[in-house]
Amino acid sequence: MLKIYHAKNTRSVRIVWLCEELGIPYELKTLNFSPDDLQSKAYLAVHPLGKVPSIDDDGLILNESGAIAQYLLAKHGSGRLEPKSGTADYGKYLQWFHFAEATLMVPLGNIAQHSFIRPEDKRIPQVAAEAVESAKKMLGILDKELAGKDFICGKDFTAADIMLGYSLLLCKMFGLLTGEYPNTGAYFARLAARPAFQKATA
């Protein structure tokens, strides 16, 4: 059975959420988000950088949340949670799917590193402050895109919403999801109400 290496409130939420939405059976391997677990010899054999998520699908080990999601959609999705491949809608879907990790997670990572992950003497307040500005700019763009829409691709929930939903969970935890972004706030509430999201974040 598919094994998902997971730690609470990390990017592995995306994979658990996707499996729940698609009804893919999985076994959860829950790790503590600490070097004791992530940098253990056993886990470094699964993910050489000691990060989550990883999956082990009958011996196929994959890291990178977006790649894992695309693999699982291709294997189990049967067209669910994605627009038809090759269409303009699919292009937009891919853009937002990857924006979530490749763009929005960059400032969020810097905020986390320079606000609470690094030891205090290694934090650079200027980096954290610039990252907040950068994340706000991105949220402004997302908010415009979401005007009049239920989900990022329109009326249908897709895997791009799962990728974005995790990034927005961090925005919420970091206090960035303010009233300045009403469409994004309502969108995140819609995502967070889904039973699959609740299971993945429990």
Contacts with ligand GSH by CB under 6 A lie at: 10-11, 38, 50-53, 64-66, 101
Q: Closest approach of Cβ 171 to ligand GSH, in Å?
A: 14
Q: Closest approach of Cβ 100 to ligand GSH, in Å?
A: 9
- Transcribe 19-69 into DSSP letters: HHHHT--EEEEE--SSHHHHTSHHHHTT-TT--S-EEEETTEEEE-HHHHH
Whichever of 3 and 143 has its CB closer to ligand GSH, that residue is 3
Q: Closest approach of Cβ 46 to ligand GSH, in Å?
A: 12
Whole-number Å distance between alpha carbons of 13 and 94: 19
DSSP-based three-state secondary structure for 75: helix
Whichever of 84 and 116 has its CB closer to ligand GSH, that residue is 116
Whichever of 119 and 179 has its CB closer to ligand GSH, that residue is 119
Whole-number Å distance between alpha carbons of 103 and 138: 8
Whichever of 64 and 145 has its CB closer to ligand GSH, that residue is 64
Contact criterion met (CB below 8 Å) for 66 and 163: yes
Q: Closest approach of Cβ 12 to ligand GSH, in Å?
A: 7
Instruction: Point out the residue whose Cβ comes nearest to ligand GSH.
Output: 51
Q: Closest approach of Cβ 177 to ligand GSH, in Å?
A: 18
Whole-number Å distance between alpha carbons of 85 and 179: 35
Whichever of 68 and 153 has its CB closer to ligand GSH, that residue is 68
Q: Which token pair is 49?
A: 């950088």
Peptide bond into 53 cis (omega under 30): yes
Whole-number Å distance between alpha carbons of 85 and 93: 10
Q: Closest approach of Cβ 25 to ligand GSH, in Å?
A: 22
Contact criterion met (CB below 8 Å) for 39 and 13: no
Whichever of 56 and 64 has its CB closer to ligand GSH, that residue is 64
